[in-house]
Chain A
Amino acid sequence: MRKLTFLLTCLFLVSVGLVNAQSKSISGKVFSADDGQPIIGATVRVQGTAVGTITDTDGNFRINFSGNEKKLVFSYVGMKTQEVEATNNMRVSLASDSKLIDEVVVTAVGIKRSSKSIGYATATMNPEDALGKSQPDFLKSMQGKVAGVDIRSSQGTPGAATRINIRGNSSFFGNNEPLIIVDGVPLDNSQVATSNQTSGGGAYSNGFSSLDPNDMASMTILKGSAAAALYGSRASNGVIIIKTKSGSVNTAKKKLEVSLSSSWSTENVANLPDYQNTYGAGSNFTYSNSNGSWGPKFGSAGNDSVPVQNGDWTKYYPGSFPSSKKVAYKAQPNNVKDLFQTGLVAENSINLAGGNGKSAFNATLSNMNNKGYVPNSKYERSSISLGGSSNLANGLTIHGSMIFSNTSQLGSQFGENQVDGASSSFARTLFLARNWDLAGLPYETPTGLPISTNNSQYDNPLWDFQHNTVTTNVDRIMANFGLDYQILPWLNASYTLGTNVQNLSRKEIIDLGSRAVGGVGQLKTDKYRNSEFESTFLLTAQKDFLDDLFSVKVTLGHNLNERNTARQAIQGSELIVPGIYNLSNTKTQTVLTDETSQRRLIGLFGNVTLGYKNYVFIDITGRNDWSSTLPVANRSYFYPGVTGSFIFTDALNIKSDIFSYGKIRAGWAKVGRDADPYSLVNTYSINLPYNNSVNSATLSAVSKNPTLQPEFTHELELGTQLEFFKRRLAFDFTWYNKISTNQIAKVTIPASSGYDSYYMNFGKIQNKGIEIDVTAKVIDTKDFNWTLHYTFTKNKNTVLELIDGVDRIALSNVLSGSINPYLEKGMPFGYLRGTVNYRDENGNLLIDRSTGLLIKDPNEKMVGDPNPDFKMGLGTTFTYKNFFLTAQVDWTKGGDIYSTTVSTLLGRGVTKDTEDREHTWVIPGYYGDANTGKPLLDASGNEIANTTAVTTNDLYFGNSFAINSQTEWNVYDATVYHLRELTFGYNVPKKLLTKTPFGSATISFSGHNLWYWAPNVPKHTNFDPEVNSYGTSSVQGIELSAAPTTKRFGVNVKLTF
């Protein structure tokens, strides 16, 4: 540490010395001749000397030189170099050089680099493209558009978290989502779950959704470790760098520009199953008021009416029923559809921006309101962003921004209804017996207690939507302050200090009368505060040598990071007075959590880029971190990286109109990672007092480890970028191999050790894959343009090592005895393991002779792999004069999903899949011995084929293929095709606007998720395998009665003044 301080200090002393030698100063500004916009990062050099500088974020420069030199040389990648006589306040326009088109890419810690010099894959998203697409969730609007990025939705209710993952899961138990940097400060994207999502809880949101897409200026995705290494510990899953409009104010001189955008969309459930309307409640064609629709045929003799399913209906609403207290036994074809409503998404935003060449500001005000198709569900986001920037006369640039956002989410509770004390709002919602008319009958008693066809088994969903709710409010403040100073023509210093504070408060209500918590009511309050401070100092030196033959850029940086969390969750049990939902109205209060945590990190890093003739580049990075969470002896760790790029078309001069550009790149980097706070020393937890009088404590079941080491991820990536036909066809290919070793994880250890888990360094996991990105301007004429954008993502994940002798470790405890994701050597991350049936040596099912059904194997086995084989997306845009049409489709191939929705639809006999039922079935297989799992043999030693017939009801409700079956039958291939987006719009011609106050006007119509097809799920379930019950966690491929996905239609208007 001291050594580095000394080095840095020396560097400054040197620079001070150089300052003294200067004598004359000229300032000016560099523009692009194409669009008049200032050029950032253009090189300005005094002709014939080594003195030079680069233009700042506004294109301004100031250069010092001795009196006898006359000319300045201006150069910029992709632009023609110019030599201009030096005058004060000079303004220089650079014309683009078609042979040398290159763009500037924002890389780690905000370092801007020409894309030529980059030796790793990056991607950019234009946030504008996400607007006006009937999709309020920005992450979801990226689906299929970026190669290498896997985006998965969770539930179809407003605000539900969206998971983003780049290049696979590299951490066993840690967060596998990329680091998100907003205006230089990390954004806490965690999903705060108050209740376990297996047995309840809401469709919780995550941090990303509090960002306003209307205020986003740019988004860069650094996919690999080589790209992200300078960000340090949290970058091993890639980085998403977002610049907000407020945080990247440009001091260009421009008049005040006001943009207004508005969009309105309707929202409906994407698709419901095709229900059968032939049979109602009962079993084996006999009526009973049960959940399964296996009862008698509608209209069959003796089955015209049935008793009202719940005495409460006739008791409280006697007028609605005949005196017989019977209702017709008939199909209710729309009984599920009628539980839902048409939702709405309304989004309005106003943006104001302006500047006078010295100072500028940006302000964005936005509001988005999404009412879901589930009654009483909504998500609202309001945000105010303000940003400003000023170039002071002394050469210092000051900029800063402040963003405030508030989100509020309201929704119902989900999970596996069968878990004791749980109540899922979707417990029966999609599986209503075909004769139940829930929407046509009152859902509650006059005093607000639920009435359903069977109160003890499920709460009436309409009641549930209104009464068992989760309300979450999040206030987020992101603020940052920055200074930028050009110390010397070749030396720049910049400093940013930013903070990101999130305050979440939540109420989870289980109302009086619910089947959950014994009907006495419960309230959970959860308050979570997270704050992060990030300070980054950068010193950048840049110089060209030997007449631009060589270029050198050196960046040294210092980074401080502090993260604080505080959480307090309290459970109030037994509501006293109905309708009042605060802790004061509960009989007893229990503290669920009351914790704070703090972690700190210091990083020092450096980056050297060497260029030769602007076609060979070598980039070397190194970072050393000091983390508060590791043992003192191990808290310092260093990790290097090296990348290179080679523009072979330039080097070999083989460019032509057909083969326009060719680059190959390679990168290798190592990224270190620290532990969670407080992972080193064992602690006790204080328990709730017995009988409210005797206090007690137990040793924590997690064994801590005072000898933890940092973990490291190594990644090698190779890629090429090829462009053809005057760059109208661009092809980008990347191959990577990422290996994470020595992981710090709370590894599951046998209970007989005294603990359930142990913090240790172990294991090895590999993610290997390819990413392909193709852009084609198929037709490029004045009036008609057609472009295509194709992405392909394939990631293969393998656990290479676990712990010697340990077969497997559960990734999470989801549903014991049914399904759990596991880690196992040689297997993919989080593969699904569950119960299976016995088979003989040839793989034939063994059948229980007495029942004709399958026999459970007491040993669990692999039943699925949630990781898809590959994903691809295809986007297309047509423009004809002022009309445009865009569409986006994607295809996820493979991956498995455990679905209780599908198994319940089949097991309850409600869809057309099980309508053909008036005969028995013989399951193909051979008789087996349930004790040994071996086939039974006849006198001559042969297996005996099964001849025991079972009913259709038992086929789907016994130890067979749906409900009560083994897990293997409830796992489906999740291959799915989606038509994600379709937008048709019109840009009003400028000449029509001359007499209006508008500078531009655009109107468009859009649709989202208009069609999907999952070929390998039972046909009539119409199940969209994209849903998931565990939001952003690493548990994927498990769906427990989740709310289905949505589809939307909308109209969007954008106006500028």
Chain B
Amino acid sequence: MKMKKILFILFISTLLVGCNGWLDVNKDPNNPQDVPMSLLLPSVELNATYVLAPGSGSLGTGLGEDLGVYTHQLSTREAANVYGADGSEYYLRNAWSGMYISTLQNLDIIITKSGESNAPYYEGIAKVIKAYMYSQFVDVFGDVPFTEANKKADGIVYPKFDNGVDIYPALITMLDDAIAKLKTTATVTVPKTDDLIFGGDVTKWIKTANTIKLKLYTQTYNQKGADKAAIGAKIKAIFDNLATTPLIAATADGFMFPFVSQRTPDNRHPAYGGTYEATQKTTNISPWFFEILKGINPVFSGIVDPRIPYYFYNQLKPSQTGKDGNKFEYRVGGFASIYFGSTGPDNGAAQDKSQTVYGIYPCGGRYDQGDALTVDKSSGTGAAPYRFLTYADRLFLEAELLQAGIITTTPDGNDAKTVLNAAMVEAFRLVDYVAAKANGSQTIPVLTGATKTNTYITSILSLFDAGDANKKMEIIMTQKWISSFGSFVDQYTDYRRTGYPKMFDPNDATMAPSGFVTPPAGGDPDRTLPPVKVSCSLAYPRSLAWSIDEINVNKNAPKQKTDPSTYYVFWDPKKN
């Protein structure tokens, strides 16, 4: 009896002693508490791309999906139609969290770590990406969190928003600092294959940084009261120092993220999955864009762009009836789409197997050799790069600067026409470059040097010669807009800065007489397409609303923009 009770006590006592050690089981066995920079850099580069690229597939992705509609290269039935992408829009929210959480947060860790471990190349690369990404956010949103962003370790949970006008100079400083870091030599910890963009080639990063500076300066000259001479001087300083601090000067120098054809995990261009793999397709090619390339639109009347089969893929042959009884609102031969702002009866008709989709250039889709396939995941590769900033972009910037008189000479010539010519040649070469990267097993003709390419360029240049200053600027910006198909953020910026190219407006009496647009006659073999009612009650948004997620929980955020058509980025010429 006694023995048993003593045993009981002993038993209970063992349960109670030593409990301190017993409770020490709270170290996460699943996730590391630290990782090297070489693991962070690849995710940062990929995530930065997702913030900007278009795409509606399972990868989600970012600003491009809506901005492509705003720049009238795409059309859709989604929120972006009639400028309706507000702060609760999926892509916008995705881009916002992708920017600050997936990209900047990890960039800042790289910057801190590189300082601690004497790895200036990592620091330089991180700062180039950071400066570029911030500039894109300022261009799209105006004011964004900057000085207090990503400082939670310092106790800042609710960062204030900084004015874009104050952020730009800081970005220039950041880029200068990055260039200095990238120019140092003999470091131990250097990026190699973990730098997915340039494979650790620091010279290309220096060129990129310098070209971003050129772009940022250029974007500011149109604001009211701009000191154009001062801006010109800063740009001249860049041109004068090319020997030590070069600009992007070849197609392969271009600042681009290399997507590949791997499906799982999905490292294809995000627009590829959203178009080729998605059975229900939400992205259409805008008839406005198509008509400009086709020479139907007065802007380049009668001049057919040889890039069409690289840009678009028609799932229909010109005389083929719609698959599964698909009906169309807009059709010209094999090209089928819907209008911006349409309220027509056929706008909602299913046409997934018949509509025209992205071709090989924007997303690694299929080069249109006229085979009119119903596209699926294996029609293309998805291995097209996302183009942040290309050599062609640089040349278009130079042409614009010359035309605007900000500068009188550039490394590529001292008149706008010469540089525009070079830019267009490079734009075609870029299409060839991408097609070569993204080609699966098609035979794709080379554009560069082809007769139709030369004819096209010549025709555009004669239009340029014949035009007045405004027309000249319109041609430069329109050509840039065409070349940058798929990279929609800068297009949106360029349009707001310069007013070019002309965008479709349902309320414009010439473009849509009495609120109706009529598809070209004889375009649809099934029937005569009726005029389509179009309308858009919202004025053109001069910036995007902020992500509702940020506004909801950031007590230091400004009030949401109720009317983005009156909210201007600092460089906007309409801003007072």
Contact = CB atoms under 8 A, between A and B. Distances in A.
Contact of B196 (A420, A690, A856): A690
Contacts of A456: 279-281, 350, 352-353
Contact of B5 (A12, A807, A851): A12
A578 interface: no
Contacts of B6: 16
A573 B264 contact: yes
Contacts of B152: 703, 749, 753-755, 758
Contacts of B350: 289-290, 454, 456-457
B106 A698 contact: yes
Contacts of B547: 751
Interface stretch (A72-80, A382-390, A681-689): A681-689
B193 A694 contact: yes
A1015 to B, nearest CB: 32
Contacts of A635: 23
A629 interface: yes
Interface in A913-952: 929-933
Contacts of A817: 79, 88-90, 93
A696 interface: yes
A600 interface: yes
A12 B9 contact: yes
A749 B549 CA distance: 9
B298 interface: no
A692 interface: yes
A447 interface: no
A189 interface: no
Contact of A752 (B35, B100, B109, B263): B100
Interface string A685-710: 11111111111111111010000000
B262 A691 contact: yes
B412 interface: no
A528 interface: no
Nearest to A628: B23
B385 to A, nearest CB: 13
Nearest to A291: B350
A366 B327 CA distance: 58
Contacts of A756: 97, 101
B563 A932 contact: yes
A560 B348 CA distance: 62
B115 to A, nearest CB: 17
A820 to B, nearest CB: 9
A250 interface: no
Interface in B228-270: 260, 262-265, 267
Contacts of A597: 29-30
B349 A19 contact: no
Contacts of B273: 518
Contacts of A698: 40, 43-44, 47, 102, 105-106
Interface stretch (A2-10, A122-130, A346-354, A998-1006): A2-10
Q: Is the interface of A mostly helix, strand, loop or mixed?
A: mixed
Nearest to B349: A288
A626 B16 contact: no
A677 interface: yes
B267 to A, nearest CB: 5
A990 interface: no
A806 B553 contact: yes
Contacts of A692: 262, 265
Contact of A681 (B33, B87, B277, B550): B33
Interface string B4-25: 1110110011011101101111
Interface stretch (A157-165, A586-594, A652-660): A586-594
B314 to A, nearest CB: 17
B504 to A, nearest CB: 16
Interface stretch (A89-97, A203-211, A808-816, A873-881): A808-816
Contact of A697 (B35, B105, B278, B352): B35
Interface in B76-99: 79, 84, 86-90, 93, 96-97, 99
B12 A518 contact: no
Contact of B280 (A515, A683, A755, A805): A515
B57 interface: yes
A754 B148 CA distance: 10
A685 B33 CA distance: 9
B565 interface: yes
A851 B280 CA distance: 27
Nearest to B95: A751
A600 B25 contact: yes
B493 interface: no
A685 B552 CA distance: 27
Nearest to A594: B30
Interface residues of A, number: 119
Contacts of A455: 279
A709 to B, nearest CB: 15
Interface stretch (B179-187, B483-491, B534-542): B534-542
Contacts of B32: 683-684, 686, 697
B514 to A, nearest CB: 11
A66 interface: no
B116 interface: no
Contacts of B79: 817
A734 interface: no
Residue with the greatest number of chain B CB neighbours at <10 A, chosen from A517, A574, A628, A691? A691
Contact of B552 (A286, A699, A809): A809
Given A12-B9, A806-B553, A754 B28 contact: no
Interface string A480-518: 000001010000010000000000000000000001011
B9 A9 contact: yes
B195 to A, nearest CB: 9
Interface string B528-562: 00000001011100000101111011111100101
A816 B19 contact: no
Contact of B23 (A602, A755, A758): A602
A307 interface: yes
B289 to A, nearest CB: 24
Contacts of B5: 12, 15-16, 19, 487
Contact of A600 (B23, B265, B539, B557): B23
A633 to B, nearest CB: 13
A859 interface: yes
Contacts of A748: 549, 552-553
Interface in B128-171: 144-145, 148-152, 156-159
B42 A696 contact: yes
A290 B348 contact: yes
Contacts of A933: 562-563
B369 interface: no
Nearest to A292: B348
B120 interface: no
B56 interface: yes
Interface in A841-881: 848-851, 855-856, 858-860
10 contacts: A290-B350, A456-B350, A588-B264, A748-B549, A752-B550, A754-B149, A754-B151, A810-B549, A848-B537, A931-B539
Interface of A: 1, 4-5, 8-9, 12, 15-16, 19, 283-284, 286, 288-290, 307, 309-311, 394, 418, 420-421, 454-457, 485, 487, 493, 515, 517-520, 535, 537, 558, 560, 573-574, 587-588, 590, 594-600, 602, 626-629, 635, 677-678, 680-701, 703, 748-756, 758, 803-810, 816-817, 835, 848-851, 855-856, 858-860, 929-933, 957-958
Given A749-B553, A848-B535, 7 more contacts: A5-B13, A627-B23, A684-B32, A690-B46, A696-B40, A758-B157, A849-B537
Q: Which are the 3 A-B pairs with shortest beta-carbon distances?
A: A805-B555, A930-B537, A518-B277
Interface of B: 1-2, 4-6, 8-9, 12-13, 15-17, 19-20, 22-35, 39-44, 46-47, 56-58, 79, 84, 86-90, 93, 96-97, 99-102, 104-106, 108-109, 144-145, 148-152, 156-159, 193-194, 196, 260, 262-265, 267, 273-274, 277-281, 323-325, 327, 343, 345-346, 348-350, 352-353, 376-377, 515, 535, 537-539, 545, 547-550, 552-557, 560, 562-563, 565-566
